[in-house]
């Protein structure tokens, strides 16, 4: 794990800020921070043809959209959007951590299947 990631995780664990006041850490580049949803949003079901589970989360932080070399800008899902991503059964997608019992993931933009407004 890189030094910035370790610092972000440390800050998230140490932070006592309630989630309504902001995300527990900052993300950079083409990464997004999502708060995992326990179940799929009402009326939404995405199926993977390989049978992998689909997870859903709410965007609570996002990078600036520039790739690692700042060579290209990529559109990022808006804050508070619901994103869906595939999670193979044998591994966890992205880096994860918990704050006050809630699970968060730092995901690369390439992991996101789709994003849609939260209702």
Domain containing 75 — which CATH number?
2.30.33.40
Q: What was the pLDDT predicted at 16?
A: 33
Q: What was the pLDDT predicted at 88?
A: 77
pLDDT in tens, the chain (119 residues): 445 444 444 444 333 334 444 566 888 888 999 999 999 888 888 988 888 889 999 999 998 888 877 778 888 999 999 999 998 777 777 788 888 889 999 999 889 999 988 76
Name the strands in the sheet holding 31-36, side by side, starting at the edge strand that comes first in the sequence.
Answer: 95-99, 102-108, 31-36, 54-62, 82-86, 112-116
Q: CA 59 to CA 61: how far, in whole Å?
A: 6
Give the domain range for residue 26: 3-116
From the CB of residue 5, how many other CB atoms can be counted at a distance below 10 Å?
15
- pTM (two decimals): 0.75
Domains held by the chain: number = 1
């Amino acid at each position: 794990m890189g030094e910035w990631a370790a610092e972000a995780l440390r800050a998230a664990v140490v932070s006592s800020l309630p989630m309504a006041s902001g995300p527990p850490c900052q993300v950079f580049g083409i990464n997004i921070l999502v708060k995992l949803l326990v179940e799929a949003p009402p009326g939404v079901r995405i199926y993977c043809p390989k049978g992998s589970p689909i997870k859903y989360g709410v965007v609570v932080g996002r990078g600036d959209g520039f790739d690692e070399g700042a060579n290209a800008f990529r559109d990022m899902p808006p804050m508070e959007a619901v994103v869906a991503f595939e999670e193979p059964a044998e591994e966890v997608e992205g880096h994860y951590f918990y704050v006050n019992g809630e699970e968060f993931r730092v995901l690369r933009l390439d992991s996101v299947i789709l994003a849609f407004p939260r209702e």
